[in-house]
Amino acid sequence: MVKKIKNLKEFSLSNDRFEGANLMCPGCSHNIIVREVLNATNDPVIVATATGCLEVCTAVYPRTSWDVSWIHIGFENAAVAAATVAAAYEVMKRKGKLPPATQKMVDEGREPKIVAFAGDGGTYDIGFQSLSGAFERGHNFMYVCLDNEVYANTGGQRSSSTPIGASTTTSPAGAVSYGEKMQKKSMVEIMADHGAPYVAQVSPSKWKDLVKKVQKGFEVYGPVYINAQSACTTEWKHAPEDTIEVSDLGVESCVWPLYEIINERDEHGIIYSTKLNITYRPKQKIPVEEYLAAQPRFRHLFKPENRHIIDLWQKAVDARWEYLQRREEAGV
Of residues 35 and 93, the one with the C-beta less far from other proteins:
35
Please give the Cα distance from 45 to 112 (Å, whole number).
5
d(CA 280, CA 68) in angstroms, rounded, equals: 31
Q: Quick one: which of 186, 276, 279, 271 has its CA closest to 222?
A: 271
Between residues 95 and 283, which has the closer beta carbon with respect to other proteins? 283
- Would you say 82 and 145 are in contact if contact means Cβ atoms under 8 Å apart? no
Q: In the complex with other proteins, which residue's Cβ is closer, 134 or 142? A: 142
Find out whether 166 and 180 touch, Cβ atoms under 8 Å: yes
CB of 8 to other proteins, least distance (A): 5
Instruction: Determine the Cα–Cα distance for residues 148 and 235; give it in Å rounded to an integer.
Output: 8
**Least distance in Å: CB of 24 to other proteins?**
7
Nearest CA to 196 out of 112, 247, 269, 128 is that of: 269
Give the nearest distance from C-beta 210 to other proteins in angstroms: 10
In the complex, least distance from residue 294 CB atom to other proteins, rounded to whole angstroms: 13
Closest approach of other proteins to the CB of residue 250, in Å: 15
Nearest distance, CB of residue 54 and other proteins, angstroms: 12
Q: Which residues bind other proteins (CB under 8 A)?
A: 8-32, 35-36, 42, 58-59, 61-68, 101, 105, 204-205, 207, 233, 239-245
Residue closer to other proteins (CB basis): 11 or 280 = 11
| DSSP code per residue over 247-280 | HHHHHHTTSS--EEEEEEE-TTS-EEEEEEEE--
CB 24 within 8 A of CB 57: yes
Nearer Cβ to other proteins, position 15 or 284?
A: 15
Give the residue with the Cβ less far from other proteins, 238 or 327: 238
3-state DSSP assignment of residue 3: coil
